[in-house]
Amino acid sequence: MSQAGSSMTAATDVAQPPRPWERPPTEVVGVTCTAGGQRIRREGGQPLIQLRNVSKSFGALNVLRDLSIEIYEGQSTVIIGPSGTGKSVLLKHIVGLLQPDTGEVWFGGQRVDTMAPEDLVEIRKRIGFLFQMSALFDSLTVGENVAFPLVEHTTLTRPDREERVDRVLRMVGLSGLQAKMPAQLSGGQKKRVSLARSIVLGPEAVMYDEPTTGLDPIRSDLINELIVGLSTRLGITSVIVTHDMVSACKIADRMVLIYDGKIVHDGTPESFWKTDDELVRRFVHGQAEASDLELISKGLDDGEQDRSASKDASSGI
């Protein structure tokens, strides 16, 4: 053990490459997001969705802390932030699946959080929700899955429903797959079927909860193109939660970083890439916190020492 320890000490006297957290903050790693290479960011119209001073706790866990945000009509707003920071909770407030402890939630000039259940049903018809998991009904065909909201919420005849299902499946590039079962689809196809189901009622807004998580870059790109197309060509107001900075850069008119239950940066994607704010930079460039990296590094050092000690022991040193 002492031998392993002294050799480690000797090694640290030699010039070491910089540890990850010693990287100069000006160094750009990963994706860059420049106005030139990307599409035009759009100004939003009127506020369609408003959270006013919303706080939400689960037991002792304070998730949203006095958070206020306005989401503008026709814009794509991308929400980023560490895992467990309340991004999904925020989306669920917008559609009335969760109620705030304090504060207000508004959609299209109507207050959602105190709304009677029958009125909330009407609001939910106007908002598509693409859940983190595809959440398709496994025992229903693709066509039946997509038609489900039409059966639940409209009096359309079967031929009209079939026509509508065909139209949205064509929009997501899955025309003719009505008879397939979800188990026969790839992950990317399931996402697109879910998306078709989210837009079949012709919503004004769609909430996307991590739409590209678990998909490879090519399938992710297809989903991103769809989100952009629905937003720019059909004028759907989009709120997208993502961890994926490439997607964020491609989709967003506006980006919002949530940290510790609050908004810490709000602006164009370019403003996220240009900022000097250390927290924002770290998040955008996918750099872990120095304190966490240091802990991991210490743990690895210990592991290394243990391993060389056990090797020494087994070789009889």
Ligand X SMILES: Nc1ncnc2c1ncn2[C@@H]1O[C@H](COP(=O)(O)OP(=O)(O)O)[C@@H](O)[C@H]1O
> How near is the Cβ of 92 to Mg ion at its closest, in Å?
10
Extract the tokens encoding 215: 């998909």
- The candidate with the shortest Cα–Cα distance to 292, out of 19, 60, 12, is 19
Residues 178 and 143: beta-carbon distance below 8 Å: yes
Among ligand X, Mg ion, none, partner that 89 touches (CB below 5 to 8 angstroms by kind): ligand X
Residues 172 and 226: beta-carbon distance below 8 Å: yes
Q: Does 101 bind ligand X (CB under 6 A)?
A: no
Among ligand X, Mg ion, none, partner that 237 touches (CB below 5 to 8 angstroms by kind): none
Residue closest to Mg ion when measured from CB atoms: 88
> How near is the Cβ of 37 to Mg ion at its closest, in Å?
29
Residues 208 and 237: beta-carbon distance below 8 Å: no
For the chain, helix (H) and strand (E) counts, in that order, are 11, 10
Scanning the chain, the segments in alpha helix (DSSP H) are 2-13, 87-94, 117-125, 142-153, 158-171, 187-199, 217-234, 245-251, 269-274, 278-284, 290-314
Residues numbered 59 to 78 that lie near ligand X (CB under 6 A) are 61, 63
> How near is the Cβ of 143 to Mg ion at its closest, in Å?
29
The count of chain residues that interact with Mg ion, using the rule CB under 5 A, is 1
The residue range among 55-63, 151-159, 213-221, 295-303 that interacts with ligand X, by the rule CB under 6 A, is 55-63
Q: Does 87 bind ligand X (CB under 6 A)?
A: yes
Q: Does 88 bind ligand X (CB under 6 A)?
A: yes
Extract the tokens encoding 149: 């909201």
The residue range among 36-44, 86-94, 190-198, 217-225 that interacts with Mg ion, by the rule CB under 5 A, is 86-94
Q: Does 83 bind ligand X (CB under 6 A)?
A: yes
Q: Three-state SS for 293?
A: helix
212-239: b or e for each residue (b if 16 or more CB lie within 10 Å)?
A: bbebeeebbebbbebbbebbbeeebbbb
Q: Does 86 bind ligand X (CB under 6 A)?
A: yes
The strand pairing partners of 70, in sequence order, are 50
> How near is the Cβ of 61 to Mg ion at its closest, in Å?
14
Nearer to Mg ion, 75 or 88 (CB): 88
> How near is the Cβ of 137 to Mg ion at its closest, in Å?
22
The residue range among 85-93, 167-175, 249-257, 278-286 that interacts with ligand X, by the rule CB under 6 A, is 85-93
Applying CB under 6 A, which of residues 35, 45, 53, 58 lies at the interface with ligand X?
Answer: 58
Cα 299 → chain centroid:
31
Contacts 24+ apart (CB under 8 A), 55-58: 55/100, 55/101, 55/102, 55/103, 55/261, 56/86, 56/89, 56/93, 56/98, 56/100, 56/101, 57/101
Q: Does 88 bind Mg ion (CB under 5 A)?
A: yes
- The candidate with the shortest Cα–Cα distance to 210, out of 272, 134, 124, is 134
Q: Does 85 bind Mg ion (CB under 5 A)?
A: no
> How near is the Cβ of 63 to ligand X at its closest, in Å?
4
Q: Which residue has the tokens 């398709």?
A: 136
Q: Does 89 bind ligand X (CB under 6 A)?
A: yes
Q: Does 130 bind ligand X (CB under 6 A)?
A: no
Among ligand X, Mg ion, none, partner that 84 touches (CB below 5 to 8 angstroms by kind): ligand X
Applying CB under 6 A, which of residues 50, 76, 77, 85 lies at the interface with ligand X?
Answer: 85
Binding site for ligand X (CB under 6 A): 58, 61, 63, 81, 83-89
Binding site for Mg ion (CB under 5 A): 88
